[in-house]
Structure 1
Amino acid sequence: MASKKYLLLAGAVGLLSASTSFAQVQPTGYDALDSTKVSSKRMVQQNNFTNHQSNFPAKPRDMWELGLSGGLHLIDGTVNPRPGFGGGISLRKALGHTFSLRAEYIGSIDKGQNYKAIYDNPGAASPWAKTYAKNGFYVPNYKSQNHQLSLDMIASLSNILFYRAEPKINWYVLAGYSIVVADVDVDALDANGNGYDYSSINFGQKRHDIVKDLKSLQDGKYEQNAPSQGNRIAIGRHNDNQLLRHALDVGTGIAFKISKRFNLGVEEKLTLPFDAYLDGYPGPGGATKDFYSYTSLRLNFNLGNSSKRVQPLWWINPLEYAYSELSNPRHMKIPAPVLPDADGDGVTDQFDREPNTPAGAPVDSHGVAKDTDGDGVPDYKDKQLITPTYCQPVDADGVGKCPDPECCKHIAPACSSLVLPSVSFKGSSTKVGSEQEAILASVASSLKANPSCNVLVTGHAGAKGKKGGVDLSSRRVDSVIDYLADKQGIDRGRFIKQNTPGESGTVDLAPAN
């Protein structure tokens, strides 16, 4: 029973595929059957997929993404940062639907200003104390001009969707490597080249007032190199103080698709050089490591010929083609359903109410053997195909017994009143078929009811009684007589044979008395 259900399901799938072929929905992101988006070096794989030799299509050519960014840039370190500005340009390429590589340049200007004075003995080891402090007091500050080159791996987290086609939002995380060049300067000397005298600042007042007083005191020229350690290169406003550092990048972002060519994003990127001198002041012991924070608004543009390339792969749901193929098969090989019909009557077993009818037996649309006269004997067994209702019930052969009318029970019927049918043969056939048997069964019934009547059996020998026609006609006449005598039990002595000229495929029966 289970196998029949599966076969029925296969038939339903076949009908569904035929009906949906008139209104197929094409994938909106990328059609795996479209070879125009595949590079020549991947065409072998694409051809294998098209010819059902591989389950996987080739990866299509996709567009590059050009990004422009700008936003808040600051240094998180020991010195209190002021909001700075950064801007960048990037180029991104997909490795697959999830991972991509992005190369980026970021330039920024950052400032910082402490609001508390720090005291160091003039002989202390601190560079600030040795160089810039007056009366042992100084307030750390800085201005940093930064250049950063990054190579980041980006993982998209929202393009594999189970219930939508194309993603409209792309949320991602990133990690990578940067090399950072930073020119860090400090505002430590007044117009006379002396360290600032901070004794006039009341550091006990509110922070806003302290910062205001510091701005009034300082000239904002940032004329000195900030203290630093490690690698330096001789470029920048003051030679020998541009830091060169390796760094680790981490971050996250979200992009919103505006069109297939443009998207708008917001990103937070942290750059970790593991250096305490990005703000020019390492703090007590130098244990605090500074890092860059870049919160940016990004304008991203897809570059490439849309007739040869698809959107960047992180904007394409790789499940869409698989779902579209299940819904509207265009590539799958679906075998034609074969539904079982055990008795060969033309009605499949799922719908056959009589699954064991004999071969050749005529059946109705439900597979049940026909009973034309409704006498309870199916046609393939019925020797009297049409039995009047008043002659029923019938015997096992479907032959009924018609009662004589009360007025005529003792009157012998006249043979001349009998009307007997003709028997037709097709082509050059001489065999009595199932249709002819039904006719001759009714003739036999009439002859049995009139035992005194003989029968003239007439065949037609063709034009002018040709020899071949006479032979065919005689064999047909003999077939009719043999059937009535052997199958129906009519005495052979009651038949009179004759052949006449004329074109006809019938054998005529008529009373001979």
Structure 2
Amino acid sequence: MASKKYLLLAGAMSLLTASTGFAQVQPSYDALDSSKVSASKMAQFSSFKNNQSIYPAKPRDMWELGFHGGLMMLKSDVHGRPGFGGGISLRKALGHTFSLRAEYTGSYTYGQDYKLKNSIVANGNPWASTAAANGGKIVPNFKTATHALSLDVIANLTNIMFYKQQPKVNWYVLAGYSLLLADVDVDALNGNGAGYDYSGINFSGKMKDIIKDIRDLQDNDYEQNAPSQGNRVQIGRRDDNQLLRHALNVGTGLAFKISPRFNIAVEEKLTLPFDDYFDGYTAGAYDGSKDFFYYTNVRFNFNLGNKTKRVEPLWWVNPLDFAYSELNSPRRMKLPAPVLPDADGDGVTDQFDREPNTPAGAPVDVNGVARDTDGDGVPDYKDKQLITPTYCFPVDADGVGKCPDPECCKDIKPACSSLMFPSVSFKGSSTKISSENEAILSSVASTLRSNPSCNVLVTGHAGAKGKKGGVDLSARRQDAVIDYLVEKQGIDRGRFIKQNTPGESGTVDLAPAN
């Protein structure tokens, strides 16, 4: 019978495993969702969300209500027959691994031996008449009804997963305590109140034939209280017929997730009361064996709670899910600003810089190459003639071109007084030559090179009433203009004459001085 039981169990597990109804499981837990966090855990939640703590708050999770039923058998000195059991349970998670389950289980178990055995007398002898009719021998049988209240600690073994998102199958083990109330009765008398006479039974035949013959002889009334150690309690349909015992529970099970609200489990649970009288018979004080129950059952479990405020029971939640999601698509992690190397400090990172060794301060293009505004082959930071007309090419090492005189005017030298020079404008209190002014002064330098005998009057404006600050600013602007023409364009410094005039102006005026 045991082999058939385990075959049935294997078939049920295979059916559940092959089912596609529970295959699609979606995440149910977000560590950044405050709606699933209780008020007592909110401080930790805020600390975690604000990167003040690395540990998220434990979310509220649902309770699990279960209904179970299955085969109950007693392993004892008497050959057992399958009984049945059933009950209800309530389970709550302590964390992602451990949970507590309280349950009630009611059951009936049966036994019918197939051998003549010695009659053991303990606190009354319901077998006395049968033993007298069979030379002091009996064939034990029993019917045991139990009520059990259990509290078990369950450890989940498969919900912390490194290579999958969430568990679809949960394997667990359990251990705990039970308080057993058992009514053990035996069928020791026939309908006439006399003991059974087994002289007509062939005990040398096959076991199933012996058991059939014995059961045909008996009336299956189970009218007698079974022997015990004497410590009975007065609960039940007969006085003094109940055994109240403490017991240890151990077991294992597999739960299959059907939906976020429902799962089916197959479980094997052993209950060990450390007592030898649950079958109404003991093989003797020196036998050393104790009776125990094993319960093969199917469980239908339902998650209770508001899904907007609670996550699924934590044994169905993979605590690594959030960590892996954060690594893939960060929402909470503080990511440092990327630091990309720029060896020459020109603003173009080395991985994109086509000229990674330009001098400090040298203007470059988007590819990190030194600018050459006039395309004369001399970069701007070396070019003393920033804009050289193409007809003046080629240029010297300083970027200065040699512009030929027009054929018609080679021998004509214009008078200095006829030359026209532009003014150089400055913004605010600036004294720096802007890129626009560089182009203007390059044109002035070209004119001066064509007229080497002409000098230039550089006029600054000292401000209203010749304020001291205005005079200083005007002088620095004049110097900036002259320095540029001398140092960048190669004009002789002796060709410049400085003067200041009163008045508000942001310009330095250039005019022929001859």
* TM tier relative to shorter chain: 0.7 to 0.9
Structure 2 match to 1:235: 235
Alignment of 1:354-369 (within 5 A): 354-369=355-370
CA contact (8 A) 1:354 1:368 kept: yes
CA contact (8 A) 2:100 2:151 kept: yes
Distance 1:378 1:279, change over 3 A: same
Structure 2 match to 1:210: 210
Cα deviation code 1:237-270 (max 9, x no counterpart) = 4432322221111100111122222211111100
CA contact (8 A) 1:255 1:264 kept: yes
Structure 2 match to 1:109: 108
Question: Is residue 221 from structure 1 mapped to residue 211 from structure 2 by the alignment?
Answer: no
CA distance in 1, matches of 2:74, 2:423: 111
Cα deviation code 1:169-188 (max 9, x no counterpart) = 21100011112111111111
Structure 1 match to 2:19: none
**Alpha carbon RMSD of aligned pairs, Å?**
3.9
CA contact (8 A) 2:256 2:265 kept: yes
CA contact (8 A) 2:78 2:281 kept: yes
Structure 1 match to 2:275: 275
Structure 2 match to 1:305: 306
Structure 2 match to 1:348: 349
Structure 2 match to 1:387: 388
CA contact (8 A) 1:456 1:498 kept: no
Structure 2 match to 1:146: 146
CA distance in 1, matches of 2:257, 2:278: 36
Please give the secondary structure, in 2, of the residue aligned with 1:176: strand
User: Aligned letter for 1:271?
Assistant: T
CA contact (8 A) 1:66 1:89 kept: yes
Q: CA deviation at 1:236?
A: 3.3
Please give the secondary structure, in 2, of the residue aligned with 1:258: strand
Cα deviation code 1:296-344 (max 9, x no counterpart) = 1111111222232222111111111222222222222333334454654
Cα deviation code 1:104-159 (max 9, x no counterpart) = 1110011111123x154899999576453213242111111111111111001111
Question: Is residue 292 from structure 1 mapped to residue 290 from structure 2 by the alignment?
Answer: no
User: What TM-score does the superposition give when structure 2 sets the normalisation length?
Assistant: 0.80
Q: CA deviation at 1:217?
A: 1.0
Distance 1:420 1:205, change over 3 A: farther
Please give the secondary structure, in 1, of the residue aligned with 2:41: helix
Please give the secondary structure, in 1, of the residue aligned with 2:239: coil
CA distance in 1, matches of 2:208, 2:482: 131
For structure 1, which segment, 157-166 or 232-241, has the greater mean C-alpha deviation from structure 2 after superposition?
A: 232-241
Distance 1:229 1:478, change over 3 A: closer
Structure 2 match to 1:62: 61
CA contact (8 A) 1:430 1:475 kept: no
Structure 1 match to 2:402: 401
Structure 1 match to 2:52: 53
Alignment of 1:417-436 (within 5 A): 422-427=422-427, 431=431, 433=433, 435=435, 436=437
CA contact (8 A) 1:187 1:221 kept: yes
CA distance in 2, matches of 1:304, 1:479: 81
Question: Is residue 248 from structure 1 mapped to residue 257 from structure 2 by the alignment?
Answer: no
Distance 1:29 1:415, change over 3 A: farther
Distance 1:124 1:108, change over 3 A: closer
Structure 1 match to 2:130: 132
CA contact (8 A) 2:123 2:230 kept: no
Cα deviation code 1:48-81 (max 9, x no counterpart) = 3233332222222222111110111111112221
Question: Is residue 39 from structure 1 mapped to residue 51 from structure 2 by the alignment?
Answer: no
Please give the secondary structure, in 2, of the residue aligned with 1:199: coil
Q: CA deviation at 1:410?
A: 6.8
Alignment of 1:69-88 (within 5 A): 69-88=68-87
Unaligned runs of 5+ in 1: 1-26
User: Aligned letter for 2:228?
Assistant: S
Please give the secondary structure, in 1, of the residue aligned with 2:215: helix
CA contact (8 A) 2:126 2:224 kept: no
Please give the secondary structure, in 2, of the residue aligned with 1:211: helix
Please give the secondary structure, in 2, of the residue aligned with 1:244: strand
CA distance in 1, matches of 2:86, 2:495: 121
Structure 1 match to 2:491: 489
CA distance in 2, matches of 1:497, 1:205: 141
Please give the secondary structure, in 1, of the residue aligned with 2:144: strand
Distance 1:400 1:169, change over 3 A: same
Structure 1 match to 2:377: 376
Structure 1 match to 2:448: 447
For structure 1, which segment, 229-238 or 164-173, has the greater mean C-alpha deviation from structure 2 after superposition?
A: 229-238
Please give the secondary structure, in 1, of the residue aligned with 2:199: helix
CA distance in 1, matches of 2:403, 2:265: 97
Distance 1:413 1:495, change over 3 A: farther
CA contact (8 A) 2:120 2:282 kept: no
User: What TM-score does the superposition give when structure 1 sets the normalisation length?
Assistant: 0.80
Give aligned pairs, total: 481
Q: CA deviation at 1:36?
A: 2.8
Cα deviation code 1:413-450 (max 9, x no counterpart) = 6569x997735413356746153345424432443244
User: Aligned letter for 2:51?
Assistant: H
Distance 1:445 1:150, change over 3 A: same
Distance 1:396 1:179, change over 3 A: same
